[in-house]
Amino acid sequence: MNVKIWALAGAWALGAAPLAAQSPAEGAAPVGLQTNVVFTQYSPLSSAAEIVRRMVSPLEARRVAQAATHIGKNMQGQPLDLAGERFSLYVPREAPSQGYSLLVFISPYEDAQIPLDWISPLDRHGMIFVTAAHSGNSANVFDRREPLALLGAVNVVNRYAIDPRRIYVAGFSGGSRVAERLAMAYPELFRGALLLAGSDPAGDGHLPLPPADIFARFQESGRLVYATGSRDTYHTAEDMVSRQSMATWCVFDVAGHSIPALDHELPDASTVDRLLDELDAARSPDAAKLAECRARLDAALDAALREVQNLAHVGKLDKARHALAQLDARFGGLAAPRSVELADALNASP
């Protein structure tokens, strides 16, 4: 996925008449269908610097930061202006005693649309649904799709009583790939992801691993639910590869579903109801299994780092740089800061 320098259909229908949501300070936060909602709250989680830190490999993140400095770009700022953004929400009228759950949805389309036949399962789960306009597949991932999803979550949490144990991100097709990235990189916010007909394997250029402490939290508490139509064979095969990669990287709380007689389209209400039940059914990984898997990864990382060092030691600098680039793509944030230190040493070599 190319990194740009910052700042870097039939089942769908629009909601009711436009309604600007109110903050609790202005009165009771509205319920029901809402469109053209304007949010105002920003978060450090959605700054350009933080998204780059979590979403791209360390060496790529350094190149982005250097390029931004060269053109005078402020990486600490926000990549978008919320005053010009619009969201759609559905808020069930009955709030659960423990607080609403929240589903942040990333669409492949430009409109902030709400699948109206999903309202019944959303009501049953006490789940707020929020989605952003102009966040489709044609929008830039880093300076629109990801910060819009993050800020949608932050603003709903600030406006409504939300159960922090049941905040999820979801998407369809290309939006599902973005949801997968966000779930991995922001496990303190999103406790899981519903991936509908779109996924990538972890640990390559499409889905770099975040910093080690963040990824450890995802391994321990993140949940992924894959669901693709049985007739959508291309994305079903991609789901298989993605799920296998998660096991390789010690992510075990994963469920996969093939939806009978469905093409590349959204599931119906009864299927969504079951998938939301599945999303809520988080399972803690076996501690011994997780420790053993992590030890294997640590050993593989150490071996890859030694290979780079050995190549540099015997003067094969071009091969060392190539091996380091491969290591950076494979291990991402797990290799930092050692990978960055190696890059500095190689850059200092003649």
| Cα–Cα distance for residue pair 195/183, rounded to 1 Å | 10
- 24-284 belongs to which CATH class? alpha beta
Averaged pLDDT, 271-300: 97
* Per-residue confidence (pLDDT) for residue 281, from 0 to 100: 95
Nearest residue to 224 (alpha-carbon basis) of 260, 200, 252, 262: 252
**133: closest CA among 221, 11, 14?**
14
Residue 220's pLDDT is: 97
pLDDT at residue number 232: 98
Please report which residue ranges of the chain form alpha helices under DSSP H.
48-55, 58-70, 119-124, 146-159, 174-185, 212-221, 233-248, 269-280, 287-313, 317-331, 338-348
Q: What is the mean pLDDT of residues 55-67?
A: 92
Interval 33-50 mean pLDDT: 96
Q: Which two tokens stand for residue 201?
A: 């394997």
Read off the pLDDT of residues 122-152 as tens digits, 9 standing for 90 and up.
999 999 999 999 999 999 999 999 999 999 9
Residue bearing the bigger pLDDT, 65 or 89: 89
Model confidence at 4: pLDDT above 70 = no
Structure tokens at 93: 């009228």
In the three-class reduction of DSSP (H, G, I as helix; E, B as strand; rest coil), residue 183 is classed as helix
pLDDT, average across residues 42-62: 95
The per-residue pLDDT for range 303-346, each reduced to its tens digit, is 999 999 999 999 999 999 999 999 999 999 999 999 999 999 99
Residues above pLDDT 70, as percent of the chain: 92
What are the strands, taking DSSP E only, across 143-297? 162-172, 192-196, 223-229, 254-259
Lay out the sheet containing 192-196: strands in order across. Answer: 32-37, 87-91, 127-132, 100-106, 162-172, 192-196, 223-229, 254-259
Can you read off the two tokens belonging to residue 219? 């391994």
- Provide the pLDDT for residue 3: 36
Mean pLDDT of 169-192: 98
pLDDT band of residue 68 (cuts 50, 70, 90) is confident
Q: What is residue 36's three-state secondary structure?
A: strand
- Tell me the pTM: 0.90
Tell me which H or E stretch contains 268. Answer: none
* Region 145-161 average pLDDT: 98
The pLDDT score that the predictor gives to residue 7 is 30
Instruction: Give the integer Cα–Cα distance in Å for 328 and 334.
Output: 9
Distance from chain centroid for Cα 221: 14
Contact 35, 19 (CB under 8 A): yes
Q: Which two tokens stand for residue 15?
A: 């909601």
Q: What residue type is 109 in one-letter code?
A: Y
pLDDT, position 27: 52
Write the single-letter amino acid at 35.
T
**Whole-number pLDDT of residue 14:** 35
